[in-house]
A and B are shown apart, each in its own frame.
Chain A
Amino acid sequence: MGVLPDDWTLPDVTPINKAWFTSGQLAVQVCARCGARQHPPEEVCHACGGFEFSTETFSPKGTVYSYTIAHYPVNRALAASVPYAVVLVSLDEAPDVRVIGNVTDVPVEEIHIGMPVQAVWDERTAEDGQVIRLVQWQPA
C-alpha cells in the first residue's frame, strides 16, 4: 500500500513507541502524572519529568502542514519510487501533534499545504514476526 518498496525500512519497536507503531490508531503518548501529551513519544515527560505514560487516541483526520517531494533517491532501493511525497500532517483534533507519512492515491503534484487527509494503516510483518502498522495518509 505504501509508496515505497514493500520491504523498505520499518521502525524499531520499543516499549515507549509500541502503541504508536502497532495499535493501528493515532495513539499519542500522554503523561500519566500531568496529562501533557508529546509526540513522538519520549522516555520522560517534557512538562513534568514523569516516567509513566498512557495514550490518547485521536480521530484519523488531519491537514497537510508541510511536505516535500523527494525526486532524488538517496538510496538505490528507492530509485523506482521517486518522486514520492513525504507529508507532515497536523491532527485535526490535536493540531500541535504533527505526524509524518506518505500520501497514497494521489499524484504528488496535487499535494499542498492545507490539504485535508485521512489516516490509513499499512500493516507489515517484520523479520521477527512482529506486526507493525505504519500510519499513511490519503486524500480525505
Chain B
Amino acid sequence: MHGSAVVVGVGESTYYKRGGATESEFRLACIAIRNAVADAGLELSDVDGFTSYMDRNEPVRLSAALGVGELNFTAQTFGGGGNGAAAAVSIADAAISAGYAECIVVFRALAQGQFHRYGQAGRARRARGRSAYTSPYGMLSAAQICAMQTMRYMHEHGIGQDALAEVVLACFEHAQRNPRAIRYGTPLTREEYHASRWIAEPFHLYDCCPENDGAAAIVVTTPERARDLAKTPVAIVAAAHGLEHRDGVAAFNEPRFPTAHHRHVGEVLWQRAGVKPADIPVAQFYENFTGPVLMAIAEMGFCEPGELNDFVADGNIRWPDGRLPINTSGGNLGEAYIHGFGNVVEAVRQIRAESTCQVAGAELSLSVSGPGFAPGSAVLFGKL
C-alpha cells in the first residue's frame, strides 16, 4: 500500500501578511528549504532535486544559492493555482521511486507583497484565450470564479451560509493554537464572519484566502536513506492528480459544473491507498475560498453534497472532538496562504505527532489541493 518515497523534513519561513516580509521571495524560499533540510538532519549538498508548481524561483538559482551539489531532477506541474501542491509531492514520489533522484525538496514560495496580488487583476485592452469570455464582463479574480461555482452548488444542494462559516471558524480556531499562524491571537466569531463585507457573493471577506508572504518546503527521499535521519519518516501512501473529460473547460461549460474537480482524484486516491474516507482521522483541504472546500469534502467521498450542512456543523470539522478535524494548522485562512503548501506541511506534521492541534494516534493524514481549478490533486500520508 505504501509508495516508495518518504518525507523526512518539513520547514517554512516566517509567515507574513502581504508586504510584511523583510526578505525577498527568493530568500524566503531559501529559508524554508534550509529549515526543511535541517529538520531532516540532512545537508544541503545532499539535495539533488526540486519540484514545485507555478513557482518562479528556479532550481538553477536555488541550487547555486543553497550549495546543492549535483542536481538530478526538476519539475513543476501544469495547471493554474494551488491544485499543484499535492501534485508536486506526487512528482517527487515518482522521481524518487524511479531512481531519478535521491533527495528532492518540494517547495512553494509566494510573496504577494513583492509580486502581484492574487486578489487584484490587471486591465488589458483585449482578453485572450479563456479570459476572452470572462474578463469583458468583469469576471477577473479567483474569488469571482469560485463564487460562480459555489452559488450554483449551494442552490443545488441546499447549502447554507453557515456551512461556509464553519470552514472559516474551524481554521481560525485552530490558528489560535499555532504560533506560526498569522491569525494567531486573532480569533473570529460567527457574528464577525456574517457581518464582514462581501467580496463576491456568496463570499464574505473571511471566505477568501488572505494575500501573504512566505515559503514552505518538505524533503522527500528513499526509505533506505531515511533510516538514519533525525525524524521518523512519513510515508507517501498514495497521491492522485487529474480530472475527468472536459473538467476545466472554459467559461463554466464543464459537463459536471459545478465541481471541485476531485471526484476522479478521490476515486483514484482511495483505490491506490486501499483505504476509504471513513478511515481518515484528519485532513487538510486547500481553502482558496470556503465553497470549494465543501465541494471537495463531498467529492473526495466524505459525505454526500446534501449532507454537507450537517457534516461541517456542531464542531464536526474542529479539533479535538470533531469527527474529521480539518486544516489543523489554521490552513490558508488562518495560518498563511502559501498557495496551499502549508496544508501539505501540516498533513506531514500530523503523522509526526507535531501538530499544534494534534489528532491523537493519527496513522493517516490527507491533504487535498486546489479545489475549483482543474486538475485537482490530493496526497495521503501515513506511518511507515
- Contact check: which of B137, B149, B245 meets A102 at CB < 8 Å? B137
- Contact check: which of A46, A65, A134 meets B152 at CB < 8 Å? A65
| Known contacts A4-B137, A72-B200, A78-B138; is-contact A10 B251 (Cβ 8 Å) | no
Complex CA gap A113/B121 in Å reads 27
Please, which residues of chain B bring their CB within 8 A of the CB of A8? 123, 136, 138
Complex CA gap A106/B90 in Å reads 49
- Contact check: which of B138, B155, B198, B253 meets A39 at CB < 8 Å? B253
Please, which residues of chain B bring their CB within 8 A of the CB of A120? none
Interface-centre pick from A75, A84, A100, A101 (highest chain B CB count, 10 A): A100
Please, which residues of chain A bring their CB within 8 A of the CB of B124? 9
Check A61 for interface membership: any CB of B closer than 8 A: no
- Contact check: which of B125, B130, B134, B200 meets A69 at CB < 8 Å? B200
- Contact check: which of B122, B136, B141 meets A11 at CB < 8 Å? B136
Check B61 for interface membership: any CB of A closer than 8 A: no
| B138 in contact with A84 (CB, 8 Å) | yes
Complex CA gap A96/B251 in Å reads 12
| Known contacts A9-B135, A12-B128; is-contact A69 B253 (Cβ 8 Å) | no
| A75 in contact with B136 (CB, 8 Å) | no
Check B115 for interface membership: any CB of A closer than 8 A: no
Interface set, chain A 1-33, CB cutoff 8 A to B: 3-4, 8-12, 17, 21
| A46 in contact with B144 (CB, 8 Å) | no
Please, which residues of chain A bring their CB within 8 A of the CB of B245? 46
Please, which residues of chain B bring their CB within 8 A of the CB of A75? 120-123, 140
Total inter-chain residue pairs, C-beta < 8 Å: 129
Please, which residues of chain A bring their CB within 8 A of the CB of B322? none
Interface-centre pick from A3, A40, A127 (highest chain B CB count, 10 A): A40
Interface set, chain B 129-160, CB cutoff 8 A to A: 130, 132-141, 143-144, 147-149, 151-152, 155
Please, which residues of chain B bring their CB within 8 A of the CB of A9? 123-127, 135-136
| B252 in contact with A98 (CB, 8 Å) | yes
Complex CA gap A83/B127 in Å reads 22
| B255 in contact with A96 (CB, 8 Å) | yes
Check A117 for interface membership: any CB of B closer than 8 A: no
Complex CA gap A40/B122 in Å reads 23
Complex CA gap A84/B120 in Å reads 16
Please, which residues of chain B bring their CB within 8 A of the CB of A69? 198, 200-201
- Contact check: which of A11, A46, A66, A68 meets B200 at CB < 8 Å? A68
- Give, as a whole number of angstroms, the nearest-CB distance from A96 to chain B: 7
| A100 in contact with B126 (CB, 8 Å) | no
Complex CA gap A40/B133 in Å reads 8
| A88 in contact with B252 (CB, 8 Å) | yes
A-B contact pairs, 21 of them (CB 8 A): A3-B138, A4-B136, A9-B125, A9-B135, A12-B128, A66-B152, A66-B258, A67-B151, A68-B139, A68-B201, A71-B197, A71-B201, A74-B119, A74-B121, A74-B141, A75-B120, A84-B138, A88-B152, A96-B255, A102-B137, A102-B138
Q: Known contacts A46-B249, A71-B199; can you find 14 more A-B pairs with CB under 8 A?
A: A9-B136, A11-B127, A40-B132, A40-B249, A46-B246, A66-B148, A66-B149, A68-B147, A68-B200, A69-B200, A71-B201, A86-B139, A99-B251, A100-B252
Interface residues of chain A, those whose CB is within 8 Å of chain B, are 3-4, 8-12, 17, 21, 38-40, 46, 65-72, 74-75, 77-78, 81, 83-84, 86, 88, 96-102, 113, 126-127, 134
